[in-house]
Amino acid sequence: MSGGAKLKVRVAAVTPVNELITRFRFERLDGAPMPAFSGGAHTVVDMNDHGTRRLNPYSLMSDPADRSGYEISVRRDDAGRGGSLYLHRHVKPGMEMEISYPINLFPLDSRARKHLMISGGIGITPFLAQIAQLSAHGGRFELHYSARSRALGAYMDRLTAAHPAQVHCTFDDEKQVIDLKRVLSMQPLGTHLYVCGPKGMITWVLTTAAAMGWPAHALHHEEFLAPGTGLPFTVDLAASGKTITVGTAQSLLEAMEAAGVDAPYLCRGGACGQCETNVLACDGTILHRDHWLTAEDRAAGHKIMPCVSRFEGKTLVIDR
Ligand code: FES
């Protein structure tokens, strides 16, 4: 089934963390334990935003050993398409919702002798669960966490109190920057590097590590792209025999779902590859916004990732 099985949950708590971030706790309606997950997993929250269905992925930040509920933290995006605003403004304790079973596209690598984590802003959330998981078993880790200011450094107090030797914080408004080259040069052999945060930070960390000789298998990152907006476009769905129009603030995946077409997905953010779809005819330009397809795939123009990519032109026919 597209997106996997769903869990019926109740919103158990809504807790403001700072001026931009709010934490949500979900517990199962049937009172059973939540399905097990490992640090780095995410869930897709299914929202009915006044008639518009929104399906947004959020990292699970709670302790994987705690099966009584799941917690996510959501940064309000005033310029976004509405998912975070809906959660911040309309989701209250006691509400019933559906979320997906957990999916982990950013797991800890069990081959690592040490886990080096680099986080920016709300990118801290998967690391909270991973650190809880590692702490339970004496796993070795080091976290470098950058935030715009002390006030926006969500969970920094908790992390530095629990792990004063392993957690290092920097603040943009105090002109502090992670001393990346030094940090990368001081790691023992067998260390794996994980980065989650803004696109610029991910690129900086990965390219610096690669230039310093870190092996590709030891580099891990997570970045879910928001679908973004664009000009409306029309798509022919060959297998379904339908023609759909994708709206300005809608993704191709969302437009297919709204038309009753079953389309696969896991991350809904251009990262997992699950939604990859063959292009049967194209008279125009595919606006590739994923980071799944290779440069060769893009040049060939035979594939599209409907969760984030768009189209400009006359005709697009896809195999769905
Ligand atoms: S759903 Fe993951 S890349 Fe589209």
Residue pair 21/59 in contact (Cβ under 8 Å)? The answer is: no
Contacts of 66 (CB under 8 A, 6+ apart): none
Per-residue model confidence (pLDDT) at position 225: 80
Q: Which atom of ligand 1 is nearest to the CA of 306?
A: 4
With a 6 A CB cut-off, is 263 part of the ligand 1 pocket? no
Q: Which atom of ligand 1 is nearest to the CA of 272?
A: 2
Q: In 10 A of CB 27, how many CB atoms?
A: 18
* Burial letters 239-278, b for 16+ CB under 10 A, else e: ebeeebebeeebbbbbbbbeeebebbbbbbbbbbebbbbe
Which backbone phi and psi does 111 adopt, to 5 degrees? -80, -15
Q: In 10 A of CB 105, how many CB atoms?
A: 20
Per-residue model confidence (pLDDT) at position 252: 97
The CA-to-CA distance between both ends of the chain, in Å, stands at 15
Q: Which atom of ligand 1 is nearest to the CA of 266?
A: 1
Residue pair 145/121 in contact (Cβ under 8 Å)? The answer is: no
With a 6 A CB cut-off, is 86 part of the ligand 1 pocket? no
- The pLDDT profile of the chain, 320 residues, written as one tens digit per residue, is 467 789 999 999 999 999 999 999 999 999 999 999 999 999 999 999 988 889 999 999 999 999 999 999 999 999 888 899 999 999 999 999 999 999 999 999 999 999 999 999 999 999 999 999 999 999 999 999 999 999 999 999 999 999 999 999 999 999 999 999 999 999 999 999 999 999 999 999 999 999 999 999 999 999 878 888 899 999 999 999 999 999 998 999 999 999 999 999 999 999 999 999 999 999 999 999 998 999 999 999 999 999 999 999 999 999 99
With a 6 A CB cut-off, is 307 part of the ligand 1 pocket? yes
Q: Which atom of ligand 1 is nearest to the CA of 264?
A: 1
If you measure from the C-alpha of residue 306 to the centroid of ligand 1, how many angstroms do you get, rounded to a whole number? 8
Helix (H) or strand (E) holding 318: strand 310-318
CA 287 distance to own-chain centroid: 21
Environment class of 18 (CB within 10 Å of its CB; exposed 0-12, middle 13-18, buried 19+): middle
Per-residue model confidence (pLDDT) at position 71: 98
With a 6 A CB cut-off, is 4 part of the ligand 1 pocket? no
In 3D space, the residue among 76, 59, 67 whose CA is nearest the CA of residue 21 turns out to be 76
Task: Output the CA torsion 156→159→160→162 (10° steps).
Answer: 150
If you measure from the C-alpha of residue 292 to the centroid of ligand 1, how many angstroms do you get, rounded to a whole number? 8
In 3D space, the residue among 2, 267, 284 whose CA is nearest the CA of residue 126 turns out to be 267
With a 6 A CB cut-off, is 318 part of the ligand 1 pocket? no
The two three-digit tokens of residue 270, written as one number: 């251009």
Whole-angstrom distance, CA of residue 87 vs CA of residue 99: 13
Q: Which atom of ligand 1 is nearest to the CA of 290?
A: 3
With a 6 A CB cut-off, is 251 part of the ligand 1 pocket? no
Per-residue model confidence (pLDDT) at position 1: 47
Cα distances from 22 to residues 37, 55, 72, 155, 274, in angstroms, run: 22, 18, 8, 12, 29
SS3 33: coil
With a 6 A CB cut-off, is 274 part of the ligand 1 pocket? yes
pTM of the entire structure? 0.93
Can you give the three-state secondary structure of 229-274, one letter per residue?
CCCCEEEEECCCCEEEEECCCCCHHHHHHHCCCCCCCCCCCCCCCC
With a 6 A CB cut-off, is 266 part of the ligand 1 pocket? yes
Amino acid at 110: S
If you measure from the C-alpha of residue 274 to the centroid of ligand 1, how many angstroms do you get, rounded to a whole number? 5
If you measure from the C-alpha of residue 67 to the centroid of ligand 1, how many angstroms do you get, rounded to a whole number? 27
Whole-angstrom distance, CA of residue 115 vs CA of residue 53: 37
